[in-house]
Amino acid sequence: MPVVSTNTAANSALRFLNINSAASGSSVSKLASGSRIVKASDDAAGLAISTRLKSDVTVLKQASINAAQGGSVLQVADGGLARIGDVLQRMKALAAQSLSGVPSDTERGFIDAEYQQLKEEIDGIAETTRFNGQSLLDGSGDFGALDDASTYGATQLAAGTAASAADYGDGVDFFVGTAATDVINIDLTADTVATQSGDAGVTAANYTAGGTITYAATGTAGLLQVGNFSTASFTGLITEATTGDVAVMQLSMTDVTTQAKATDALNVIDDAINTVSQARATVGAQVSRFEFRGQQINTSMENIQAANSAIADVDLAAEQSKLVSSQVLVQAAVSALSQANQIPQTLLRVLQ
């Protein structure tokens, strides 16, 4: 039935024009953003999954950065360890030079001058090997102390073995017991037991001036640890009362002023080199682990990004085809609306 009050054809054409125009706009937005999900209504479930995957990728990116930084810290530590190893090699050469029968004690003093400077250089390297302000080798970090005061040179002693303190440099601290708190300090000037702490099991009554100390540690094992006093040599003997005792010497106690001391220094330097080598091996293993972890993180990140792409990224070819189709429909709807708007004018001619 022809009417002029309601242009049903125009309304229908306008509705399709709006639909096609919205479809065209949606395709343009997706093509411009590169994402298939521009708004939640495009794919609510897909949007939720994509958001979680993006958060996983964000965390993995930071984890990759962390792994790289961890490797950098270890590389800095390894550089410091390498330089300490070089210094120890030179100290060993000096000790070997002093050990030979060619130089006199006076010349050995000249050799020892360089030797002592190199011991201080080890401290300097340990103190200045830092990353982001954190010391790596001086004992305040996670790599332990590797300065010249570090303890090296453990020697197993059988029960009842007499160990001369003079073999371990100028002066000694005696740690007898199961912990470092079990300490006996010998007053080398007075040649007496000066102080005792912990579970050492020795008192002044157990000490004979210029003679021996006999102890019976109450712990599961006894320990004789040789420390450092800067005083005259103690010539008494230490008689171990239990098995498993250990005499330990520090690098800081060594010098090469005599052939005997050069021999002791060589033994301690060898142990120090072994310690540094072991530390470098540990660092190298950790660097390798960081590298493999970084590769694993990058692989996971790549796979998650691929999964997210399959969910959220737009198919350019398909969306372009939709855009072209919707644009054609928009043009057709505009043309149809124009024609529908002319229908009432045509019906008015009936009244003329």
Give the dihedral of Cα atoms 120, 125, 126, 127; nearest 10 deg.
90
Tens-binned pLDDT, residue by residue, of the chain (352 aa): 556 667 788 888 888 888 888 888 888 888 888 888 888 888 889 989 999 999 999 999 999 999 999 999 999 999 999 999 999 999 999 999 999 989 998 999 999 999 999 999 998 998 889 888 888 887 665 555 565 755 554 444 444 444 444 443 333 444 444 444 445 555 544 555 555 555 445 555 555 554 445 544 443 333 444 433 333 333 334 444 444 444 445 677 788 999 888 988 888 888 889 888 988 999 999 999 999 999 999 999 999 999 999 998 888 888 888 888 888 888 888 888 888 888 777 776 766 6
pLDDT recorded at residue 318: 87
Q: Is residue 203 part of a domain?
A: yes
> In the block, which residue shows the tokens 């298939």?
36
pLDDT recorded at residue 114: 96
Q: Is residue 198 part of a domain?
A: yes
Q: What is the DSSP string of 96-153?
A: HHHHSSSS-HHHHHHHHHHHHHHHHHHHHHHHH-EETTEESSBSSSSS-B-STTSEEE
pLDDT recorded at residue 180: 42
Number of domains in the chain: 1
Q: Is residue 189 part of a domain?
A: yes
pLDDT recorded at residue 257: 92
Q: Is residue 185 part of a domain?
A: yes
Q: Is residue 163 part of a domain?
A: yes
Residue 215 CA to residue 201 CA, distance in Å, equals 6
pLDDT recorded at residue 196: 54
pLDDT recorded at residue 200: 46
pLDDT recorded at residue 298: 93
pLDDT recorded at residue 166: 43
pLDDT recorded at residue 16: 87
Element (H, E) at 250: strand 245-250
Q: Is residue 174 part of a domain?
A: yes
**Residue 36 · residue 312 · CB < 8 Å:** yes
Q: Which domain holds residue 217?
A: 159-242
pLDDT recorded at residue 13: 85
Q: Is residue 118 part of a domain?
A: no
Report phi then psi at 197, rounded to 5: -140, 160
Residue 100 CA to residue 49 CA, distance in Å, equals 76
pLDDT recorded at residue 255: 87
Question: Long-range pairs for 112-116 at CB < 8 Å and ≥24 separation?
Answer: 112/255, 112/256, 112/257, 115/91, 115/255, 115/256, 115/265, 116/255
Q: Is residue 13 part of a domain?
A: no
Count other C-beta atoms under 10 Å from residue 100's C-beta: 10
